[in-house]
Amino acid sequence: MRLQDIKTPAYVCEKSKLQSNLNLLNYVAQTSGAKVLCALKGFAFSPGMPLVSSILGGATCSGLIEAQYAKEHGFKEIHTYSPAFKDDEIDEVLSISNHVVFNSFNQWKRFATKAKNSNASIGLRVNPNVSASPTDMYNPCGRFSRLGITRENFEFDNIDGIDGLHFHALCEESAKSLEMVLKAFEEQFGKILPHMKWVNFGGGHHITKAGYDVELLIRLIKNFSKKYNVRVYIEPGEAVGWECGFLIATVLDIVDNEQKICIIDASAECHMPDTILMPYRPKIRNESQNGKFSYRFGGATCLAGDIVGAEAGDPIYKFDNPINIGDKIIFEDQIHYTIVKNTTFNGVKLPSLAMIDESGDVVVWREFGYKDYANRN
């Protein structure tokens, strides 16, 4: 199928771009000695999973369901962390996972016996209390954070059975930010590192973004693992799916209220939630800064604020040519943190999942409809 024939809305992953993200992450793994895990929280896209699981070192999971998904997709290692595990899920989590990371000493004590009787390697998540995150919403080390144990609450003499430490302090950050966090982490927790087998540097490393200092990351990992004789893990989500696909929608109508407004069959609220929450303004293919024709784009929902780019303060998109009803609109970079977060609010259809290869051939893997709405309502 060609792209112009696809039924919209659809998330379309560009296979060659995903492949080049994975190649870069694999280069980091090979040269630094770290294992690179895919954080399913940010990127769980079934059509891409055969590629991801064959190239990366494993998957990082936020609980039982993501761990089950990682198992089904054949990841080499499964690492599971949750802010709190449940009594009726922990057995299966421990049996599926190679690593299990607890968020508090309460949780570690609650499940220590089961953990020690399992084959999983156990770690604790700490909160180094520094971060360079862009917004509070995405800062795991902000004031009152529930994520990870602070040094004040860390029971340094209660680590029998603990193999590793985990921190996650970054969001879309540079290697320089990691360097800063590592320094604080070492100052606060350095004294127990000689007792650890592994340290997980979490996610938020924007490795596949142009300009990221990959060689600094490699140096930081190498120096750290040599200094403490530990295996290092990193677990990016966004960097796996970064700029490797788009959301394609059709213009259903164009209305006028001081400004031309295209109503599309995709929705910012349902299908591009971080454009509202983060917020950010997605690029549209073929937009033109000096174009004479300007439009807003709104979803076919009843939510007034379901306008693309409005929360980021810039909902006007300009084009050199007028847009017509029936045209297809392509929102760039909509593969990570979209599919995993989308909703059936207003009964809007979930976008299909598709892959496009370099020759422009499109394969649709999954379509959604009434059943998906009914099953979750």
Question: Is the Cβ of residue 123 or residue 351 nearer to ligand PLP in the bound state?
Answer: 123
**Looking at residue 347, what DSSP letter applies?**
G
What are 59's two structure tokens? 């998957």
- For residue 182, give the nearest of 157, 200, 198 by alpha carbon: 200
Question: Is the Cβ of residue 147 or residue 251 nearer to ligand PLP in the bound state?
Answer: 147
The least distance separating ligand PLP from the CB of residue 217, rounded to whole angstroms, comes to 13
Distances (CA, A) of 121 to 36, 161, 163, 241: 17, 9, 6, 28
Residue number of the CB closest to ligand PLP reads: 203
Question: Is the Cβ of residue 32 or residue 60 nearer to ligand PLP in the bound state?
Answer: 60
Question: Is the Cβ of residue 11 or residue 81 nearer to ligand PLP in the bound state?
Answer: 81
The least distance separating ligand PLP from the CB of residue 236, rounded to whole angstroms, comes to 4
**Positions in the binding site for ligand PLP (CB under 6 A):** 39, 41-42, 60, 81, 168, 171, 202-204, 235-239
> What's the rounded Cα separation, in Å, for the pair 25 and 207?
8
How far is CA 257 from its chain centroid? 37
Give the number of other Cβ atoms within 10 Å of residue 6's Cβ.
18
The least distance separating ligand PLP from the CB of residue 248, rounded to whole angstroms, comes to 23
Question: Is the Cβ of residue 101 or residue 307 nearer to ligand PLP in the bound state?
Answer: 101
The least distance separating ligand PLP from the CB of residue 300, rounded to whole angstroms, comes to 29
309-312 — which CB contacts under 8 Å span 24+ positions? 309/268, 309/275, 309/281, 309/282, 310/268, 311/275, 311/276, 311/277, 311/279, 312/275, 312/278, 312/279, 312/280, 312/281
- For residue 125, give the nearest of 176, 75, 59, 80 by alpha carbon: 80
Question: Is the Cβ of residue 154 or residue 297 nearer to ligand PLP in the bound state?
Answer: 154
The least distance separating ligand PLP from the CB of residue 138, rounded to whole angstroms, comes to 8
The least distance separating ligand PLP from the CB of residue 204, rounded to whole angstroms, comes to 4
